[in-house]
Structure 1
């Protein structure tokens, strides 16, 4: 899956593993005129979610805040992907 709309540093990706086993996910971020960042590898346990942000994944230096990044998501099992802008309201949790 690819999200071509672009995301900015600080934005998150909501990743939900809908399967009964662990999902091994790779995220690669690409910006026009720049080198791809990644792949970043995550393991998401069965029926669990993670919400990584590009800033949290990059170990050496911060991605340029002036660039928008497209992201390619590759997983060995089905996962739901929901982009979340940094300025989006916080998610509400049911009791």
Structure 2
């Protein structure tokens, strides 16, 4: 049985991810991230590295992996944590219907 995100129960993991988007996570947040990273349709928001360790953009994986990734025109991220935060925010909205209207850093 695949875990289904419940915004009421899982909302507190948003702040945990926001505080530490990269690195080891609690078991609950890791379960949430594993769920967010699996889309049965095969289409999902991903990071695409434009310049190693310097620039990232968002892309959309196609359902058919033989097709190219659709790269967004912008924004271009120069901070990997900012980029990861945007992927998290978009996947959360897709899976829950809720928007996260907070920046990574206050």
Name whichever structure is richer in strand by fraction. 1
Structure with more relative contact order (C-alpha pairs < 8 Å, separation 6 or more): 1
- TM-score (norm: length of structure 2): 0.27
